[in-house]
Amino acid sequence: MREEEEKKIALVTGAGRGIGKAIALLLSEEGHHVICVSRSEESCGSTASEIQLNGGSSEALAIDVSDASAVESACSELLETHGLIDILVNNAGITRDNLLFRMGQADWDEVMNTNLKGCFSFIKHLARPMTRKRWGRIINIASVIGLTGNAGQANYAAAKAGIIGLSKSLAKEFAARNVTVNVVAPGFIETDMTNILSEDQKTGIIGVIPMKRMGKALDIANMTAFLASQKSDYITGQVFTVDGGMVM
Ligand code: NDP
Protein backbone atom coordinates (compact mmCIF):
# COMPACT_ATOMS: atom_id res chain seq x y z
CA MET A 1 0.00 0.00 0.00
CA ARG A 2 1.23 3.47 -0.87
CA GLU A 3 2.35 5.77 1.94
CA GLU A 4 0.52 9.09 2.36
CA GLU A 5 3.71 10.99 1.55
CA GLU A 6 3.96 9.45 -1.90
CA LYS A 7 2.80 11.25 -4.98
CA LYS A 8 -0.98 11.06 -5.23
CA ILE A 9 -3.28 10.57 -8.18
CA ALA A 10 -5.66 13.48 -8.73
CA LEU A 11 -8.51 13.82 -11.21
CA VAL A 12 -9.84 17.26 -12.11
CA THR A 13 -12.92 17.69 -14.29
CA GLY A 14 -13.22 20.79 -16.47
CA ALA A 15 -9.42 21.00 -16.42
CA GLY A 16 -9.16 22.36 -19.96
CA ARG A 17 -9.68 26.01 -19.10
CA GLY A 18 -10.27 28.53 -16.34
CA ILE A 19 -10.56 27.38 -12.75
CA GLY A 20 -10.09 23.67 -13.50
CA LYS A 21 -6.90 24.33 -15.42
CA ALA A 22 -5.50 26.42 -12.53
CA ILE A 23 -6.38 23.60 -10.10
CA ALA A 24 -4.74 20.96 -12.32
CA LEU A 25 -1.54 23.01 -12.67
CA LEU A 26 -1.33 23.67 -8.92
CA LEU A 27 -1.96 20.04 -7.92
CA SER A 28 0.80 19.07 -10.33
CA GLU A 29 3.14 21.64 -8.77
CA GLU A 30 2.38 19.96 -5.43
CA GLY A 31 3.79 16.76 -6.92
CA HIS A 32 0.66 14.82 -7.87
CA HIS A 33 -0.11 12.96 -11.08
CA VAL A 34 -3.07 14.82 -12.60
CA ILE A 35 -5.75 13.33 -14.83
CA CYS A 36 -7.15 16.29 -16.77
CA VAL A 37 -10.76 15.80 -17.84
CA SER A 38 -12.71 18.04 -20.20
CA ARG A 39 -15.20 17.77 -23.01
CA SER A 40 -12.78 18.34 -25.86
CA GLU A 41 -9.58 16.41 -26.47
CA GLU A 42 -7.83 19.64 -27.44
CA SER A 43 -8.64 21.41 -24.19
CA CYS A 44 -7.72 18.68 -21.65
CA GLY A 45 -4.79 17.70 -23.91
CA SER A 46 -3.34 21.21 -23.77
CA THR A 47 -3.47 21.34 -19.95
CA ALA A 48 -1.92 17.85 -19.72
CA SER A 49 0.86 18.93 -22.13
CA GLU A 50 1.51 22.11 -20.17
CA ILE A 51 1.93 20.06 -16.99
CA GLN A 52 4.38 17.74 -18.74
CA LEU A 53 6.32 20.68 -20.20
CA ASN A 54 6.64 21.99 -16.62
CA GLY A 55 8.13 18.63 -15.60
CA GLY A 56 4.97 17.19 -14.04
CA SER A 57 3.09 14.00 -14.71
CA SER A 58 -0.37 14.01 -16.26
CA GLU A 59 -2.78 12.45 -18.69
CA ALA A 60 -5.79 13.77 -20.61
CA LEU A 61 -9.26 12.29 -20.71
CA ALA A 62 -11.87 13.76 -23.05
CA ILE A 63 -15.30 12.82 -21.79
CA ASP A 64 -18.72 14.40 -21.37
CA VAL A 65 -19.26 14.36 -17.60
CA SER A 66 -23.04 14.41 -18.10
CA ASP A 67 -22.88 11.00 -19.80
CA ALA A 68 -23.18 8.63 -16.82
CA SER A 69 -22.28 5.45 -18.69
CA ALA A 70 -19.23 7.08 -20.33
CA VAL A 71 -18.09 8.24 -16.87
CA GLU A 72 -18.62 4.75 -15.45
CA SER A 73 -16.50 3.04 -18.10
CA ALA A 74 -13.79 5.73 -17.97
CA CYS A 75 -13.61 5.38 -14.17
CA SER A 76 -13.28 1.60 -14.30
CA GLU A 77 -10.43 1.93 -16.83
CA LEU A 78 -8.74 4.53 -14.60
CA LEU A 79 -9.08 2.27 -11.56
CA GLU A 80 -7.56 -0.63 -13.51
CA THR A 81 -4.59 1.55 -14.45
CA HIS A 82 -4.04 3.45 -11.19
CA GLY A 83 -5.65 1.29 -8.49
CA LEU A 84 -7.33 4.33 -7.03
CA ILE A 85 -7.78 8.05 -7.42
CA ASP A 86 -6.78 9.79 -4.17
CA ILE A 87 -8.04 13.30 -4.95
CA LEU A 88 -11.19 14.01 -6.96
CA VAL A 89 -12.05 17.58 -7.95
CA ASN A 90 -15.47 17.95 -9.58
CA ASN A 91 -15.18 21.31 -11.29
CA ALA A 92 -16.78 20.95 -14.76
CA GLY A 93 -19.75 23.25 -15.06
CA ILE A 94 -21.81 25.25 -17.50
CA THR A 95 -24.44 27.99 -17.44
CA ARG A 96 -27.60 28.20 -19.57
CA ASP A 97 -29.11 31.37 -18.07
CA ASN A 98 -32.65 32.54 -18.58
CA LEU A 99 -35.62 33.75 -16.56
CA LEU A 100 -37.84 30.82 -15.61
CA PHE A 101 -40.61 31.50 -18.12
CA ARG A 102 -38.06 31.50 -20.92
CA MET A 103 -35.97 28.60 -19.61
CA GLY A 104 -36.32 25.57 -21.84
CA GLN A 105 -36.35 22.01 -20.55
CA ALA A 106 -33.02 21.44 -22.34
CA ASP A 107 -31.45 24.38 -20.44
CA TRP A 108 -32.55 22.80 -17.16
CA ASP A 109 -31.47 19.26 -18.07
CA GLU A 110 -28.08 20.24 -19.49
CA VAL A 111 -27.12 22.26 -16.42
CA MET A 112 -28.34 19.65 -13.93
CA ASN A 113 -26.71 16.80 -15.84
CA THR A 114 -23.36 18.51 -16.24
CA ASN A 115 -23.06 20.36 -12.93
CA LEU A 116 -24.78 17.96 -10.52
CA LYS A 117 -25.13 14.51 -12.10
CA GLY A 118 -21.51 14.75 -13.29
CA CYS A 119 -20.36 15.13 -9.67
CA PHE A 120 -22.50 12.22 -8.52
CA SER A 121 -21.22 9.93 -11.30
CA PHE A 122 -17.51 10.51 -10.59
CA ILE A 123 -17.95 10.15 -6.83
CA LYS A 124 -20.07 7.02 -7.24
CA HIS A 125 -17.38 5.29 -9.27
CA LEU A 126 -14.22 6.60 -7.59
CA ALA A 127 -15.05 6.84 -3.88
CA ARG A 128 -15.15 3.16 -2.95
CA PRO A 129 -11.38 2.57 -3.32
CA MET A 130 -10.78 5.74 -1.27
CA THR A 131 -12.91 4.38 1.55
CA ARG A 132 -11.02 1.07 1.38
CA LYS A 133 -7.69 2.88 1.60
CA ARG A 134 -9.10 5.04 4.38
CA TRP A 135 -7.79 8.19 2.76
CA GLY A 136 -9.36 10.37 0.13
CA ARG A 137 -10.22 13.92 -0.80
CA ILE A 138 -13.31 14.96 -2.72
CA ILE A 139 -13.64 18.65 -3.54
CA ASN A 140 -16.70 19.86 -5.40
CA ILE A 141 -16.79 23.29 -6.99
CA ALA A 142 -20.17 24.95 -6.45
CA SER A 143 -20.81 28.72 -6.57
CA VAL A 144 -21.98 31.51 -4.31
CA ILE A 145 -25.09 31.43 -6.51
CA GLY A 146 -25.90 28.04 -4.92
CA LEU A 147 -26.07 29.85 -1.57
CA THR A 148 -27.85 33.04 -2.57
CA GLY A 149 -29.82 32.21 -5.73
CA ASN A 150 -29.83 34.58 -8.70
CA ALA A 151 -32.56 35.79 -11.03
CA GLY A 152 -32.01 34.15 -14.41
CA GLN A 153 -30.02 31.25 -12.98
CA ALA A 154 -32.63 28.96 -11.38
CA ASN A 155 -31.12 25.91 -13.08
CA TYR A 156 -27.53 26.80 -12.16
CA ALA A 157 -28.43 27.80 -8.57
CA ALA A 158 -30.39 24.56 -8.09
CA ALA A 159 -27.50 22.46 -9.41
CA LYS A 160 -24.94 24.27 -7.24
CA ALA A 161 -27.16 24.07 -4.13
CA GLY A 162 -27.56 20.38 -4.99
CA ILE A 163 -23.79 19.98 -4.96
CA ILE A 164 -23.74 21.38 -1.42
CA GLY A 165 -26.42 18.92 -0.21
CA LEU A 166 -24.69 16.03 -1.99
CA SER A 167 -21.34 16.95 -0.44
CA LYS A 168 -22.65 17.33 3.12
CA SER A 169 -24.44 13.98 2.90
CA LEU A 170 -21.40 12.17 1.54
CA ALA A 171 -19.15 13.87 4.10
CA LYS A 172 -21.29 12.14 6.75
CA GLU A 173 -21.23 8.81 4.90
CA PHE A 174 -17.45 8.78 4.38
CA ALA A 175 -16.12 10.57 7.48
CA ALA A 176 -15.38 7.41 9.46
CA ARG A 177 -13.29 6.18 6.49
CA ASN A 178 -11.15 9.32 6.52
CA VAL A 179 -12.44 10.47 3.15
CA THR A 180 -13.31 14.16 3.31
CA VAL A 181 -15.85 15.89 1.09
CA ASN A 182 -15.79 19.68 0.90
CA VAL A 183 -17.15 22.41 -1.34
CA VAL A 184 -15.50 25.50 -2.74
CA ALA A 185 -18.01 28.18 -3.71
CA PRO A 186 -16.35 30.77 -5.96
CA GLY A 187 -17.69 34.28 -6.37
CA PHE A 188 -17.01 36.04 -9.69
CA ILE A 189 -13.80 34.76 -11.20
CA GLU A 190 -12.12 35.90 -14.43
CA THR A 191 -12.58 32.99 -16.85
CA ASP A 192 -14.29 32.26 -20.19
CA MET A 193 -17.53 31.76 -18.22
CA THR A 194 -17.54 35.38 -17.02
CA ASN A 195 -15.84 36.91 -20.10
CA ILE A 196 -19.21 36.79 -21.82
CA LEU A 197 -20.54 39.43 -19.39
CA SER A 198 -20.75 43.00 -20.71
CA GLU A 199 -18.55 45.72 -19.18
CA ASP A 200 -21.70 47.19 -17.58
CA GLN A 201 -22.56 43.83 -15.99
CA LYS A 202 -18.98 43.45 -14.71
CA THR A 203 -19.03 46.95 -13.22
CA GLY A 204 -22.32 46.13 -11.49
CA ILE A 205 -20.89 42.90 -10.05
CA ILE A 206 -17.67 44.55 -8.87
CA GLY A 207 -19.84 47.14 -7.12
CA VAL A 208 -21.19 44.45 -4.77
CA ILE A 209 -17.82 42.80 -4.07
CA PRO A 210 -16.29 44.32 -0.92
CA MET A 211 -12.77 43.74 -2.32
CA LYS A 212 -13.82 45.64 -5.49
CA ARG A 213 -12.37 43.17 -8.01
CA MET A 214 -13.12 39.85 -9.58
CA GLY A 215 -11.17 36.85 -8.38
CA LYS A 216 -8.53 34.87 -10.25
CA ALA A 217 -8.67 31.16 -11.05
CA LEU A 218 -5.61 30.75 -8.82
CA ASP A 219 -7.62 32.02 -5.82
CA ILE A 220 -9.91 28.99 -6.21
CA ALA A 221 -7.01 26.66 -6.96
CA ASN A 222 -5.25 27.68 -3.73
CA MET A 223 -8.27 26.78 -1.58
CA THR A 224 -8.78 23.53 -3.50
CA ALA A 225 -5.13 22.52 -3.13
CA PHE A 226 -5.36 23.17 0.62
CA LEU A 227 -8.46 20.94 0.86
CA ALA A 228 -6.64 18.28 -1.17
CA SER A 229 -3.64 18.29 1.17
CA GLN A 230 -2.86 16.66 4.52
CA LYS A 231 -3.27 20.09 6.11
CA SER A 232 -7.07 19.79 5.85
CA ASP A 233 -7.20 16.40 7.61
CA TYR A 234 -9.92 17.36 10.13
CA ILE A 235 -12.18 19.36 7.79
CA THR A 236 -15.18 17.79 6.10
CA GLY A 237 -18.68 18.73 4.97
CA GLN A 238 -17.79 22.43 4.72
CA VAL A 239 -18.50 25.09 2.14
CA PHE A 240 -15.72 27.63 1.58
CA THR A 241 -16.70 30.79 -0.26
CA VAL A 242 -13.84 32.44 -2.12
CA ASP A 243 -15.48 35.63 -3.30
CA GLY A 244 -13.75 38.79 -2.09
CA GLY A 245 -16.22 39.06 0.80
CA MET A 246 -19.39 39.11 -1.32
CA VAL A 247 -21.35 36.54 0.72
CA MET A 248 -20.85 36.77 4.47
P1 NDP B 1 -15.02 27.59 -18.03
O2 NDP B 1 -16.22 27.75 -18.88
O3 NDP B 1 -13.88 28.53 -18.21
O4 NDP B 1 -14.44 26.08 -18.19
C5 NDP B 1 -15.32 25.01 -17.99
C6 NDP B 1 -14.56 23.70 -18.12
O7 NDP B 1 -15.51 22.66 -17.88
C8 NDP B 1 -13.98 23.48 -19.50
O9 NDP B 1 -12.73 22.84 -19.43
C10 NDP B 1 -15.02 22.56 -20.15
O11 NDP B 1 -14.50 21.67 -21.13
C12 NDP B 1 -15.48 21.76 -18.96
N13 NDP B 1 -16.81 21.19 -19.20
C14 NDP B 1 -17.98 21.85 -19.37
N15 NDP B 1 -18.97 20.97 -19.62
C16 NDP B 1 -18.40 19.75 -19.62
C17 NDP B 1 -18.89 18.42 -19.83
N18 NDP B 1 -20.18 18.20 -20.10
N19 NDP B 1 -18.03 17.40 -19.78
C20 NDP B 1 -16.71 17.62 -19.53
N21 NDP B 1 -16.19 18.82 -19.30
C22 NDP B 1 -17.03 19.88 -19.35
O23 NDP B 1 -15.56 27.60 -16.53
P24 NDP B 1 -14.91 28.20 -15.18
O25 NDP B 1 -13.50 27.81 -15.09
O26 NDP B 1 -15.30 29.61 -15.07
O27 NDP B 1 -15.78 27.42 -14.08
C28 NDP B 1 -15.34 26.21 -13.48
C29 NDP B 1 -16.32 25.84 -12.39
O30 NDP B 1 -16.41 26.90 -11.44
C31 NDP B 1 -17.75 25.61 -12.89
O32 NDP B 1 -18.33 24.55 -12.17
C33 NDP B 1 -18.44 26.91 -12.57
O34 NDP B 1 -19.83 26.74 -12.40
C35 NDP B 1 -17.75 27.28 -11.27
N36 NDP B 1 -17.84 28.70 -10.98
C37 NDP B 1 -17.27 29.64 -11.79
C38 NDP B 1 -17.38 30.98 -11.49
C39 NDP B 1 -16.77 32.05 -12.33
O40 NDP B 1 -16.97 33.22 -12.00
N41 NDP B 1 -16.01 31.74 -13.38
C42 NDP B 1 -18.12 31.42 -10.31
C43 NDP B 1 -18.67 30.36 -9.51
C44 NDP B 1 -18.53 29.05 -9.86
P45 NDP B 1 -13.96 22.20 -22.57
O46 NDP B 1 -12.74 22.99 -22.27
O47 NDP B 1 -13.67 20.95 -23.32
O48 NDP B 1 -15.07 23.01 -23.14
Confidence band of 6 (pLDDT split at 50, 70, 90): low
Is the beta carbon of 143 within 6 A of some atom in ligand 1?
Answer: yes
DSSP label at residue 232:
G
Residue 197 pairs in a beta bridge with: none
pLDDT given at position 54: 98
Atom of ligand 1 nearest to the CA of 144: 43
What gap in Å lies between CA 230 and CA 3, rounded to an integer? 12
pLDDT given at position 1: 39
> Domains, the chain, ranges and CATH?
3-189+218-240 (3.40.50.720)
Catalytically annotated residue among 156, 174, 188, 240: 156
Number of residues that this document lists for the chain? 248
Look at residue 4 and tell me whether its pLDDT is greater than 70. Answer: no
Look at residue 2 and tell me whether its pLDDT is greater than 80. Answer: no
Distance 185 CA to ligand 1 centre (A): 13
Find all residues with CB under 8 Å of 7, minimum gap 6, and list them. Answer: 31, 32, 33, 57
What gap in Å lies between CA 150 and CA 159, rounded to an integer? 12
Q: Is 234 one of the annotated active-site residues of the chain?
A: no
Predicted confidence (pLDDT) per residue in 57-108, tens digit = 999 999 999 999 999 999 999 999 999 999 999 999 999 999 999 999 999 9
Atom of ligand 1 nearest to the CA of 214: 40
